Amino acid sequence: MTRALTILMVVVGLLCAGEACAYTLVIDAGHGGKDAGALGFISKEKNINLAIALEFGRLVEQNCPDVKVIYTRKTDKFVELDERARIANRNKADLFVSIHTNSTAAGKAGTTARGTETYTLGMHRAADNLAVAKRENSVITLEANYEEKYEGFDPRSSESYIIFELMQDTHMKQSVKFAGLVQQQFATHAGRVNKGVFQAGFLVLRNTSMPSALIELGYINNRQEEQFLNSKDGIAKMARAIYNAFKNYYK
pLDDT of residue 18: 43
Distance CA 60, CA 68 (A): 9
pLDDT of residue 45: 95
pLDDT of residue 102: 92
pLDDT of residue 186: 98
- The pLDDT tens digits of the residues spanning 24-38 come to 999 999 999 999 999
Pair 229, 238: CB distance under 8 Å: yes
- The pLDDT tens digits of the residues spanning 182-239 come to 999 999 999 999 999 998 878 788 778 899 999 999 999 999 999 999 999 999 999 9
| Mean of pLDDT over the chain | 84
The CATH-assigned architecture of domain 22-104+113-123+171-250 is 3-Layer(aba) Sandwich (3.40)
Indicate the burial class of 166 (C-beta count within 10 angstroms; 0-12, 13-18, 19 or more): middle
Per the model's pLDDT, the better-predicted residue between 98 and 110 turns out to be: 98
Domain borders along the chain are 22-104+113-123+171-250
- The pLDDT tens digits of the residues spanning 145-186 come to 767 766 676 777 777 666 556 666 778 999 999 999 999 999
pLDDT of residue 19: 47
Identity at 231, one-letter amino acid code: S
pLDDT of residue 124: 55
Buried b (16+ CB within 10 A) or exposed e, 18-48: eeeeeebbbbbbbbbeeeebbebeebbbbbb
Q: Which residues contact 104 (CB under 8 A, 6 or more apart)?
A: 111, 113, 219, 221
Pair 198, 40: CB distance under 8 Å: no
Indicate the burial class of 246 (C-beta count within 10 angstroms; 0-12, 13-18, 19 or more): buried
pLDDT of residue 14: 46
Q: Is the pLDDT of residue 125 over 60?
A: no
Q: Is the pLDDT of residue 63 over 80?
A: yes
Q: Is the pLDDT of residue 42 over 90?
A: yes
Average pLDDT score over residue span 236-247: 98
